């Protein structure tokens, strides 16, 4: 059973938080959702999950046709409790496996396939529509494609150096040893995500941009909470 959230019309709000990797999207989104009593959805985890499933099942993720053919096979379920978000694939907990470097290096190729984006986008819209009281949805195309009518759209940015340092700090062991390689990988993924034909990474015209380079996580959270509270109060 999902924990109850606010149910009054004046408090219900859909928040779209977009931006590239390493800007603090996940930490910020989860904290904002928890503080405001909203549900939470990490859309990137869904694309990682389908990528992990394809790798585990021998699908050639560099072959768009093969990816498109297999896209509808795995059953992906996202738990939306911001204090304990979950994701399963065919009933199996995938929260750990989807964070490997192998998945990270292949997810852009899989997520660029239109059939994959169509399926996952519909799943995301369904979850958002069913979230009593409202939800914080984070990703790369939420404000532009998935939820263009979101009550408030926020686009997080940061310098490549700051993002690489943060992402490297999230990795363990030998994966965290090469900051330059982490930065190069982030820039490469930015290019892939921004350049794809279907739902590219982009800032919505009506999104509020927040540069997190010089901000602490608490400062970013406070900024976003304030923006959401102002919007919710005005509804």
Across 63-92, average pLDDT? 97
93 located within any domain: yes
- The helix or strand, by DSSP H or E, that contains position 161, with its residue range, turns out to be helix 160-170
> What pLDDT is recorded for position 197?
72
Q: What is the domain range of residue 135?
A: 13-221
> What pLDDT is recorded for position 10?
46
Confidence of residue 173 (pLDDT cuts 50, 70, 90): very low
Is pLDDT of 34 > 80?
yes
Q: How many domains does the chain have?
A: 1
Is pLDDT of 128 > 90?
yes
pLDDT greater at residue 126 or residue 164: 126
How many residues would you count in the chain? 235
Read off the pLDDT of residues 17-33 as tens digits, 9 standing for 90 and up: 999 888 889 999 999 99
37 located within any domain: yes
Lowest mean pLDDT among 39-43, 47-51, 175-179, 225-229: 175-179
| Domain CATH number, residue 91 | 3.40.50.300
Number of H helices, E strands in the chain: 8, 8
8 located within any domain: no
> What pLDDT is recorded for position 233?
84
The encoded tokens of residue 99 equal 């964070």
Percent share of the chain, pLDDT over 90: 66
Confidence of residue 7 (pLDDT cuts 50, 70, 90): very low
CA dihedral 88, 168, 185, 177 (to 10 degrees): -120
> What pLDDT is recorded for position 69?
98
> What pLDDT is recorded for position 171?
53
pLDDT greater at residue 110 or residue 166: 110
231 located within any domain: no
Best CA proximity match to 127, nearest among 68, 55, 79:
79
29 located within any domain: yes
Across 75-103, average pLDDT? 96
Is pLDDT of 3 > 70?
no
Lowest mean pLDDT among 117-121, 132-136, 173-177: 173-177
54-59: which pairs have CB atoms within 8 A and are 24 or more residues apart?
A: 54/110, 55/102, 55/103, 55/106, 56/97
2 located within any domain: no
Across 92-121, average pLDDT? 94
> What pLDDT is recorded for position 170?
57
The whole-angstrom separation of Cα 235 and Cα 114 is 35
> What pLDDT is recorded for position 120?
97
> What pLDDT is recorded for position 169?
61
1 located within any domain: no
Could you give the strand order of the β-sheet that contains 86-89, starting from the edge strand earlier in sequence?
A: 76-79, 86-89, 92-93
227 located within any domain: no
């Amino acid at each position: 059973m999902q924990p109850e959230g606010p149910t009054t019309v004046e408090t219900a709000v859909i928040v779209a938080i977009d931006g590239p990797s390493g800007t603090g999207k996940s930490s910020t989104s989860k904290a904002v959702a928890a503080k405001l009593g909203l549900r939470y959805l990490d859309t990137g985890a869904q694309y990682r999950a389908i990528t992990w499933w394809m790798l585990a099942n021998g699908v050639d993720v560099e072959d768009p046709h093969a990816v498109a053919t297999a896209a509808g096979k795995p059953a992906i379920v996202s738990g939306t409790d911001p204090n304990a978000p979950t994701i399963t694939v065919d009933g199996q907990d995938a929260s750990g496996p989807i964070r490997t470097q192998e998945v990270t290096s292949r997810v852009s190729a899989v997520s660029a396939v239109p059939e994959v984006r169509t399926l996952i986008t519909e799943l995301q819209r369904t979850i958002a529509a069913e979230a009593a009281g409202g939800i914080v949805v984070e990703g790369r195309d939420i404000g532009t494609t998935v939820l263009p009518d979101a009550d408030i759209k926020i686009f997080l940015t940061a310098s490549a150096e700051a993002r690489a340092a943060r992402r490297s700090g999230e990795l363990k062991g030998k994966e965290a040893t090469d900051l330059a390689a982490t930065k190069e990988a982030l820039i490469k993924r930015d290019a892939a995500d921004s350049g794809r034909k279907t739902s590219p990474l982009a800032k919505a015209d009506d999104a509020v941009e927040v540069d997190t380079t010089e901000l602490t996580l608490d400062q970013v959270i406070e900024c976003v909470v304030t923006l959401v509270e102002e919007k919710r109060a005005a509804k």
